[in-house]
């Protein structure tokens, strides 16, 4: 530490300013939704450093404040305040002082000593600096992750992202959580700047996958928390594509949490951060679906057209693959949902065509790319569309396809779609229709509780597939 408690106590006004600065740090940390351990991991300092600095027991170096400024997006506020509270260390046996200036908080002016040190003092200071430099070199040398470990991490994250598309969530949950914890530990221990960017990118991806876990379970507040951490890590990695993907994730969470305006805002913000890759298609499709939920037909149709144009321009995509790319089949699913939600009879045939194409794409895809969740979503959209066209037999056929799927594929979004269909079947016009009663009865059996996941730190049900 740069200042001991004893040195701060020697000048009460400096101590007050230091405590005020620590309190401001704690306030910004709380606003960012981080605990002390999480902030420590992001700035590569120990939790005790964060705790002691917040209470004024420790005066952290300027590097600490620079990192906190970046992580907490304080726009230089913390560094500026720190610089106002620093100066040559105060010792009680010195009595010549020079005004340093007002601290940012605390209301007391801080004075620091200005004296001429002796040659002996300078020699001792030089020795201290040399020892500090040696300790720093040792920390850096011991805090570099091996190339093999970094390569393994990239492969592992890619593998999880690809398996997530077609593998039941129960089979992946522990792997995602375990690797995310491992990456956080690597960030906490690592002192190599060139590796920190890759580690933060991996952390962002893994937090994003965990957010999807919570989303699929219908645990939207927990999904939001994890998405915010994914956003923080994407910023630390300075990765535009990941920033866009996290905004897409936040739009998805808001949409299924019945916050369509937030969903539209998140997708729109994401579009300002990326200019290539299938993420641009994903964000346009999310804009379209959110706009349709807000009954904004012109905006929804414009966004669908933008998604089509982005598909035509697509060349290279995210090499991670899996959940981090947006295939043609998923685009068709989103288009079908958008047109269905608009509820315009003139658009219903187009909605049916998009949903049918989505099903055809997924049924002919290779098994690792076959998303059971997206298939269920498209079948349920078809069931809704046929019902609006008064084709009850066709609607029942599509519903039965979904009801036949195992419980591990019944994500929260699929359950929501089934509930929406059930609500339409309660209309008075269907009350005397035997087939409609049979469909309602079948849906009642669909809503059974899911089996618990292993201890998750937030997720608590077994599920499979992905939110759509």
pLDDT in tens, 297-306: 999 999 999 9
Cβ atoms within 10 Å of 112's Cβ, excluding its own:
18
Q: Give the CA distances from residue 434 to residues 427, 429, 438, in Å, rounded to whole numbers and listed in that order.
A: 13, 12, 6
Report the distance separating Cα 257 and Cα 218, nearest Å.
8
283 within some domain: yes
Q: What's the pLDDT score for residue 89?
A: 41
Residues 191 and 277 in one domain: yes
Could you say which DSSP state residue 309 is in?
H
Residues 295 and 436 in one domain: yes
Domain boundary (113, 131, 164) is at 113
Residues 230 and 300 in one domain: yes
183 within some domain: yes
Share of the chain above pLDDT 70, in %: 79
- CATH number at 100 reads 1.10.260.40
Average pLDDT over residues 421-444: 93
pLDDT in tens, 228-253: 999 999 999 999 999 999 999 999 99
pLDDT in tens, 16-48: 888 889 999 998 998 888 889 889 888 888 888
Q: In this predicted model, which residue has the larger pLDDT, 398 or 321?
A: 398
Residues 85 and 182 in one domain: no
Kind plus residue range of the DSSP H or E element containing 417? helix 412-425
Quick one: which of 375, 293, 377, 281 has its CA closest to 331?
281
Q: Which two tokens stand for residue 253?
A: 């969470």
Residues 163 and 18 in one domain: no
Could you say which DSSP state residue 3 is in?
B
Kind plus residue range of the DSSP H or E element containing 98? strand 97-101
The mean pLDDT value of the chain amounts to 83
pLDDT in tens, 342-362: 999 989 999 999 999 999 999
Q: What's the pLDDT score for residue 122?
A: 61
Query: Where residue 257 falls among pLDDT bands split at 50, 70, 90?
Result: very high
453 within some domain: no
Residues 204 and 109 in one domain: no
**Structural domain tally of the chain?**
2
Q: What's the pLDDT score for residue 107?
A: 38
Residues 104 and 152 in one domain: no
> Is 59 in a helix, a strand, or coil?
strand
| DSSP characters over 358-376 | HHHHHHHS-GGG--HHHHH
- CATH number at 243 reads 1.25.40.10
Residues 421 and 329 in one domain: yes
Give 12's contacts (C-beta < 8 A, 6+ positions apart).
none
121 within some domain: no
Range of the domain at 93: 5-113
Q: Give the CA distances from residue 156 to residues 79, 150, 175, 224, 260, in Å, rounded to whole numbers and listed in that order.
A: 37, 10, 9, 24, 34
Residue pair 381/421 in contact (Cβ under 8 Å)? The answer is no
Residue pair 387/422 in contact (Cβ under 8 Å)? The answer is no
Residues 71 and 156 in one domain: no
Look at residue 149 and tell me whether its pLDDT is greater than 80: yes
Is the overall model pTM greater than 0.95, yes or no?
no
Report the distance separating Cα 334 and Cα 337, nearest Å.
5
Residues 422 and 277 in one domain: yes
Q: What's the pLDDT score for residue 319?
A: 73
430 within some domain: yes
Quick one: which of 434, 440, 464, 442 has its CA closest to 451?
464
Quick one: which of 224, 110, 215, 214 has its CA closest to 458?
214
119 within some domain: no
Residues 101 and 153 in one domain: no
204 within some domain: yes
Look at residue 422 and tell me whether its pLDDT is greater than 60: yes
Residues 97 and 232 in one domain: no
45 within some domain: yes
């Amino acid at each position: 530490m740069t200042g001991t408690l004893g040195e701060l106590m020697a000048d009460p006004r400096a101590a007050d300013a230091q405590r005020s600065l620590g309190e401001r740090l704690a306030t910004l940390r709380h606003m960012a939704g981080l605990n002390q351990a999480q902030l420590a991991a992001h700035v590569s300092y120990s939790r005790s450093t964060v705790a002691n600095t917040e209470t004024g027991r420790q005066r952290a170096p300027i590097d600490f404040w620079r990192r906190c400024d970046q992580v907490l997006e304080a726009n230089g506020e913390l560094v500026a305040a720190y610089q106002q509270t620093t100066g040559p260390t105060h010792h009680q046996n010195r009595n010549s002082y020079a005004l340093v200036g007002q601290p940012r908080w605390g209301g007391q002016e801080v004075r620091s000593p200005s004296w001429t040190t002796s040659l002996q003092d300078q020699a001792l200071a030089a020795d201290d600096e040399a020892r500090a430099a040696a300790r720093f070199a040792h920390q850096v040398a011991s805090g570099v992750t091996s190339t093999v470990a970094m390569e393994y991490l990239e492969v592992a994250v890619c593998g999880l992202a690809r398996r997530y598309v077609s593998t039941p969530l129960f089979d992946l949950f522990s792997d995602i959580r375990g690797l995310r914890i491992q990456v956080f530990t690597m960030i906490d221990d690592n002192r190599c700047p060139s590796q920190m960017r890759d580690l933060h990118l991996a952390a962002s991806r893994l937090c994003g996958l965990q957010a999807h876990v919570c989303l699929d379970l219908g645990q939207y507040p927990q999904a939001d928390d994890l998405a915010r951490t994914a956003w923080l890590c994407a910023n630390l990695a300075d990765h535009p594509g990941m920033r866009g993907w996290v905004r897409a994730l936040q739009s998805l969470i808001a949409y299924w949490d019945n916050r369509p305006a937030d969903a539209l805002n998140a997708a729109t913000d994401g579009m300002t951060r990326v200019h290539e890759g299938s993420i641009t298609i994903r964000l346009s499709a999310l804009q379209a679906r959110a706009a349709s939920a807000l009954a904004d037909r012109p905006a929804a149709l414009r966004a669908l057209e933008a998604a089509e144009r982005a598909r035509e321009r697509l060349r290279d995509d995210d090499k991670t693959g899996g959940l981090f790319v947006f295939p043609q089949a998923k685009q068709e699913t989103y288009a079908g949902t958008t047109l269905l939600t608009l509820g315009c009879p003139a658009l219903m045939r187009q909605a049916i065509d998009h949903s049918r194409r989505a099903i055809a794409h997924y049924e002919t895809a290779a098994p690792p790319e076959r998303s059971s969740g997206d298939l269920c979503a498209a079948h349920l959209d078809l069931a809704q569309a046929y019902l609006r066209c008064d084709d009850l037999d066709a609607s029942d056929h599509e519903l039965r396809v979904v009801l036949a799927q195992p419980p591990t594929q019944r994500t929260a979004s699929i359950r929501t779609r089934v509930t929406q269909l059930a609500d339409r079947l309660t209309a008075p016009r269907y009350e005397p229709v035997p087939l409609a009663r049979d469909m309602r009865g079948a849906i009642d059996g669909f809503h059974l509780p899911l089996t618990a996941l292993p201890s998750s730190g937030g997720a608590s049900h077994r599920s499979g597939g992905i939110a759509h």
